[in-house]
Amino acid sequence: SDFELTLIAEDAQSGKQFLAEGIAEIERIERLISSWDPASETSQVNRMAGVAPVKVSDELFELVQRAKAISRLTDGAFDVTYASVDPIWTFRGETITPPDSSIIAASVAKIGFQKVLLNPSDKSIFLPEKGMKIGFGAIGKGYAADKVKSLLQAKGVNGGIVNASGDLSAWGVQPDGQPWQVGLVNPKNKNKVFAWFPINDRAVVTSGDYERYLLMGGKRYGHIINPKTGYPAQGVISCTVFAPKAELADALATALFVLGIENGLYFVNQLPEVDAILIDDEGKLHASKNIEVDETI
Ligand code: AMP
Ligand code: MG
């Protein structure tokens, strides 16, 4: 995933120094949580699934704890253990023949955030079944955005935006005192922005099906999996969530894809300080109770 950092500094030299520190933090988090890096703690936990608990850093332990809590909050629409279905689907825009339903059923059987055993006394994580996997594809970018923001804030940077491939965490204001503006991309034409929002000290996260998708039976499917069925979720083509933290917004944006328009907005409307804009597969806009939108894009 691409990251883009914007920040305010006294001069170019200190600005570059802050950018380098932000990038180092992103790389550190990637080494810790990536499923692609065989040396990461995440990969170690996954390799030992069904074998033994793995002691991890406080940081990974707490991330899994929070991810498990969000899995529960969304009733498993976001599920930190969705990743056992990962090898089945690739989302590169190509047409595929539907995978065998028995293969899907077998990997769905491995999913279940409830089964993840967290032992707070030795900070170990145990996935009790072989083939179970944790993965942070739907929450890790948001987590990294929050971490870089707090690191830079702690170093005295009083305004900036961390953009983690569409997961934005912003603080402060622009040098001219104006609020930062975030543009929401039109999922049907990704070079066009359909709305601008001022943001201050909040996160804005968009999950869309326009970047990673596949075609099956003439239909388009985005890269978010319904953990209950093992098939890509349908009905929503873009979902933007506003929340105090990018980590929560990231996980919720993924969950709303799975929950769909009606259940998703009902859910968001119960959460304090969280708002969402969803676009359905006909291009119609739907928003949570604090946002007014036009009907279509
Ligand atoms: P995002 O771009 O934040 O919507 O995250 C999508 C990524 O999260 C996918 O590429 C998968 O790696 C992972 N993912 C897909 N479906 C789920 C799900 N239901 N729960 C948790 N992670 C998921
Ligand atoms: Mg997400």
Best mutation site among 165, 240, 254 for ligand 1 pocket (most ligand atoms within 8 Å of CB)? 254
Find the ligand nearest to 222 CA.
Answer: 1
Q: Which residue owns the Cα nearest ligand 1 atom 11?
A: 137
> Measured between alpha carbons, how far is 238 from 187 in angstroms, rounded to an integer?
6
In this prediction, residue 7 carries a pLDDT of 97
Q: Where are the alpha helices (DSSP H) in 48-136?
A: 58-73, 101-108
Residue 141 structure tokens:
């970018």
Residue with token string 């300080």: 273
Cα–ligand 2 centroid distance for 252 (angstroms): 7
134 lines ligand 1 (CB under 6 A): no
In this prediction, residue 11 carries a pLDDT of 96
Q: Is 259 within 8 Å of 77 (Cβ atoms)? A: yes
Query: Once rounded to an integer, what is the mean pLDDT over residues 134-163?
Result: 97
254 lines ligand 1 (CB under 6 A): yes
Residue 111 structure tokens:
């999913």
Q: Is 177 within 8 Å of 146 (Cβ atoms)? A: no
Residues 60-80 as b or e (16 or more Cβ within 10 Å = b)? bbebbebbbebbebbebbbbb
208 lines ligand 1 (CB under 6 A): no
In this prediction, residue 297 carries a pLDDT of 64
How does DSSP assign 79-90, residue by residue?
-TTGGGGGGG--
Ligand 1 atom closest to 212 (CA): 10
Using pLDDT thresholds of 50, 70 and 90, give the confidence band for residue 129: very high
In this prediction, residue 157 carries a pLDDT of 97
- Quick check: 211 pLDDT over 80? no
Residue with token string 């077998």: 106
Residue with token string 């056992």: 84
Cα–ligand 1 centroid distance for 59 (angstroms): 21
- Quick check: 188 pLDDT over 80? no
- Which of 93-102, 165-174, 281-290 shows the lowest mean pLDDT across its residues? 93-102
Q: Which of 238, 277, 233 is nearest to 259 (CA)?
A: 233
> Measured between alpha carbons, how far is 236 from 261 in angstroms, rounded to an integer?
7
Using pLDDT thresholds of 50, 70 and 90, give the confidence band for residue 97: confident
Cα–ligand 1 centroid distance for 137 (angstroms): 5
In this prediction, residue 186 carries a pLDDT of 79
